[in-house]
């Protein structure tokens, strides 16, 4: 069973990076780089440090591997994730690309521009919301009790979460 499955929902650059690494790096190459002896597409399992030199099977046609002793199987990214203890696929991709000198695809420039635009919109919304709360706060301080529904809403939306966050920081 593989540790992580790549789906259509994964970012484009991650999918392209996995495809590129699978095409250029085989499990046999990775094992040899780790110092494991490979004979006739069989090796000792590096995942569970098995002593049987025949338990780890490599299929060069599909570029997949399988350990018959521990029951794990997958591709080169799964192998790197398991051997090196990576939690995220991206960490395994970076590790493999650095080790074997493969340049991973990056996001296009238009993606970065879009992220900058979205950040500007978020900042404008945050500033607008800040102004609304400031007006409510000053109105409540000038004339307390005049707008009870606003006072209750302000407490629920602003003071209570801030109070809880501050008390959690102080008291743990």
> Based on the domain organization, do 125 and 45 belong to the same domain?
no
Last residue of a domain, one of 50, 65, 100: 100
Query: CA 38, 44, 49, 51 torsion: positive or negative?
Result: negative
With a CB cutoff of 8 Å and minimum separation 6, the contacts of 50 are 44, 56, 67, 69, 70
pLDDT digits (tens, 9 = 90+) for 108-139: 788 888 989 999 998 998 888 888 777 777 77
The predicted model gives 24-52 an average pLDDT of 85
CATH of the domain at 58: 3.90.580.10
Last residue of a domain, one of 100, 132, 147: 100
> Based on the domain organization, do 21 and 89 belong to the same domain?
yes
Has residue 6 been placed in a domain? no
Is residue 153's pLDDT more than 60? yes
Has residue 7 been placed in a domain? no
Distance CA 91, CA 79 (A): 13
Has residue 69 been placed in a domain? yes
Neighbours of 79 (CB within 10 A): 28
Decide which of 149 and 131 is more confident. 131
Last residue of a domain, one of 66, 100, 134: 100
pLDDT digits (tens, 9 = 90+) for 53-90: 788 888 888 888 888 888 888 888 888 888 888 878 88
pTM for this entry = 0.54
pLDDT band at 2 (very low <50, low <70, confident <90, very high): very low
pLDDT of amino acid 107: 75
> Based on the domain organization, do 91 and 117 belong to the same domain?
no
Is residue 103's pLDDT more than 60? yes
What is the 3-state secondary structure of 107-158? CCHHHHHHHHHHHHHHHHHHHHHHHHHHHHHHHHHHCCCCCHHHHHHHHHHH
What are the structure tokens assigned to 27, written together?
Answer: 């499990």
pLDDT of amino acid 120: 92
Is residue 9's pLDDT more than 90? no
Give how many domains the chain has, as a whole number: 2
């Amino acid at each position: 069973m593989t540790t992580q499955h790549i789906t259509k929902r994964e970012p484009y650059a991650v999918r392209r990076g996995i495809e590129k690494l699978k095409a250029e790096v085989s499990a046999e190459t990775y094992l040899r780089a780790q110092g494991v002896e490979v004979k006739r597409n069989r090796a000792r399992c590096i995942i569970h440090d098995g002593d049987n030199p025949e338990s780890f099977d490599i299929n060069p046609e599909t570029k997949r591997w399988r350990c018959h002793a521990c029951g794990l199987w997958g591709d080169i990214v799964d192998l790197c994730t398991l051997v090196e203890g990576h939690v995220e696929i991206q960490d395994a991709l970076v590790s493999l690309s650095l080790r074997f000198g493969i340049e991973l695809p990056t996001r296009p420039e238009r993606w970065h521009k879009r992220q900058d635009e979205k950040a500007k919109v978020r900042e404008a919304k945050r500033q607008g919301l800040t102004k609304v709360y400031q007006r409510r706060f000053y109105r409540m301080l000038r004339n307390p009790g005049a707008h009870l529904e606003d006072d209750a809403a302000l407490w629920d939306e602003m003071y209570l979460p801030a109070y809880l966050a501050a008390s959690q920081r102080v008291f743990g």
